[in-house]
Chains A and B, each alone.
Chain A
Amino acid sequence: NAGVMQNPRHLVRRRGQEARLRCSPMKGHSHVYWYRQLPEEGLKFMVYLQKENIIDESGMPKERFSAEFPKEGPSILRIQQVVRGDSAAYFCASSPPDRANEQFFGPGTRLTVL
């Protein structure tokens, strides 16, 4: 059983460009979580999704950030018009539907904004 997959592992964008981060959950997992890790900080919750539904987006910045988890395909975290402050590691985690607290993390995407 493959683990949580994230791509790309490293992403470089210039200010004003868009960043798209992908997350494929483990097989059988229908819950996806996105976290952001800023330099020298712990992980901060961003958003919790189930298939085709956003359950909790209380940690998402109000502007420029969006997330989706379509019926088919990976979950996508989209950052529009990136700024230098968006440079961080973005981690995705997934959990099975009956054990939402057991989260398995992907290797992360390290976003650098020039």
Chain B
Amino acid sequence: AQSVTQPDIHITVSEGASLELRCNYSYGATPYLFWYVQSPGQGLQLLLKYFSGDTLVQGIKGFEAEFKRSQSSFNLRKPSVHWSDAAEYFCAVGGTSYGKLTFGQGTILTVHP
């Protein structure tokens, strides 16, 4: 069975600081990996995705993520956080057959001025 673990429930950073959100997955085959962001009361917006190829993927809003098969990880990074990045972030894994996604529990990001 596929699963996703986001070890950090809540992270606080200062504006301008770097950010790394952790994601570990369990999946029997080559996974499709995603990061979504959710602002309060809103739906989910896709930040980036990994299907194959280059293990470092670039997304919107200056985010990037690196797929490390040996560590079963897909951590999200941003070099300099902006106050508008405060939101909840979800990592998700899917298979190749169709698009059922399994989500982690989410990481709430707070940004201090």
Q: Footprint of B on A, CB under 8 Å?
A: 4, 31, 33, 35, 41-45, 48, 55-56, 91, 93, 95, 100-108, 110
Contact = CB atoms under 8 A, between A and B. Distances in A.
Given A101-B99, A102-B49, A42 B43 contact: no
Q: Would you call the interface of chain B mostly helix, strand, loop, or mixed?
A: strand
A52 B73 CA distance: 37
A33 B100 contact: yes
A101 B94 contact: yes
Interface of B: 4, 32, 36, 41-46, 49, 51, 90, 92, 94, 96, 98-106
Given A101-B32, A102-B49, A45 B43 contact: no
Nearest to B99: A100
20 contacts: A33-B99, A33-B101, A41-B106, A42-B4, A42-B104, A43-B44, A43-B101, A45-B100, A48-B98, A56-B100, A93-B44, A95-B99, A101-B32, A101-B98, A103-B46, A103-B101, A104-B46, A105-B36, A105-B44, A108-B42
